[in-house]
Structure 1
Amino acid sequence: MPGSYPFYMYSGILEPKHYKNIGSALWLFLWCISSTTKEIEKDGINWGIVLGNKPMKLEEFAKIFEVSERTIQRWLNDLEKYQYIKITRAPYGLILTVKNSKKFNKERDDKNVHSPRDTTNMSSLDTTEMSGLHDKNVHSNKDITKINNNTTTATKKSDPIDLIADRYTDLRTIQEGKPTYPKPQDFEAIAQIVAQGVPPSRTIELLEQCFKVFEVRNPKGKIKSFSYCVDYITDHYQAELAKEEAKKLAKRRLPEDGKNDRRRASGTAKEITTDNSITGGQVGRLRRKGV
């Protein structure tokens, strides 16, 4: 496999009951685990977010495994039936999450595992039998994204570089279709944005916009470096600052009540004209003196 990489798994998958439940769908299940980009906890269950909640179509899965769409549908049905994954039907495809995901909890679990037998008992696959919860745990892509964002805000470091790098990782992973991580050069580019004083939240919003604009212009292309987005983020943020400064300047030029008092100015001019007129304010036909 091009770009092959290792990922963490539990030996409990080797038990006969899992073979009977999963069968050949094992390949899709392993793919889901390897493609997990983040883990969130909801109602006591750890959910593995596959490809950052990117909707996938059956034909896309079929191309990955070089099998028919019917085979993919059968695999998905088996995995969902025995609660190995959760499937959310979205307008543009299927959103997959791995139930009881422990891909990123290796160090924590190792502290509680003292023998191969214990490891098997603690398998993430075994814990699927501990919950009878249904679709109320995950209702839609919007719900998953909301949980994802809240968890990130609550658990990640307050360092803006980490927050921006995490979102960049999600966007790159969605583009590549597999877990992708920032390079040292990416962190340097992110630090450049932070040093300019762009708020992390606004940086992330502009970063997402940059990816969307790029996808429209280059449907088959991929952003390979954060540096590509630096100018986009900087230019748009500077334009926003200039716009706000222009609004403040325009506001300072108006009277305190915020209105241009033309009527008052007009009345004053009229009074001046009347008082200084050669007729002394009189109107009508003028007569000569002494007549």
Structure 2
Amino acid sequence: MFNIGAQGQIIMGSFLGAWVGFAWHLPMGLHLVVAVLGCALGGAIWGFIPGILKAKTGAHEVIVTIMLNYVALNLVAYLLSLDAFQREGQDNPISPFVDESAQYPLLLGEQFPLHWGFVLALVCAGGVWWLMERSTLGFEFRAVGANPNAARTAGMNVAKATVLVMVVAGALAGLAGSAQVLGTEKNLTLSTAGSIGFDAITVALLGRSRPVGTVLAAILFGGLKASGPTLQVQAGLPVDIVFVIQATIVLFIAAPPLVRSIFRLPAPAHEKEVAA
């Protein structure tokens, strides 16, 4: 399965988390936890929709998640036009700032914008590794993904696994949105998610869909994106050079299997061993 809906799941997670952050007034610590859970819940709900459609009707998750990205964007655009979600005195679609009690604390002081959302991302990566490699549920996910028919013959509930894996993916995307609304920007706009959801596809490709590889690829791409303005000011390089570097990296990662497919070349020995 391919979840192309991370962008929409980030948007919905960001919306619910931001709403909890500025509309609820809870004690310090508790407020942040509830807001983060709100982000995860928003993403999980948006992931549940393509999951249940895939499980019950066979609807292709790629098509459904792509369409839901635009549904999420336009839904949040409408909600931010309402008085209940719009910042007072503003005509633009922008929410109030989340309460300080719902914001991620900074990791390295006021000089750097790095906050505890980065630590949460590392914890989530470790959690995904444990889930997929050490838990019964993760074994079911991998079995159903490898061969649904064989998994069904072995007594696994394929429909349940399909729904759950999309819910988990949506919750993780929602948590990614929490880093934006509770840490970096501290409010919600239509550009809060940026292109994070689509960049995640590239990052996962570069990291070979493995937790450690994905973390390293994410740090690389995050560093490249963060360095863009500095490169422009200090070195006189255009910001677009960052996108060129990212595209080149992806090209080199994707080129070997593409060339083998075009020219019908055999896979390397180590890949055959892994497949076996």
Normalised by the length of structure 1, the TM-score is: 0.28
Rg larger in structure: 1
Normalised by the length of structure 2, the TM-score is: 0.29
Identify the structure with bigger relative contact order (alpha carbons < 8 Å, sequence gap 6+).
2
Q: In proportion to residue count, which structure has more strand?
A: 1
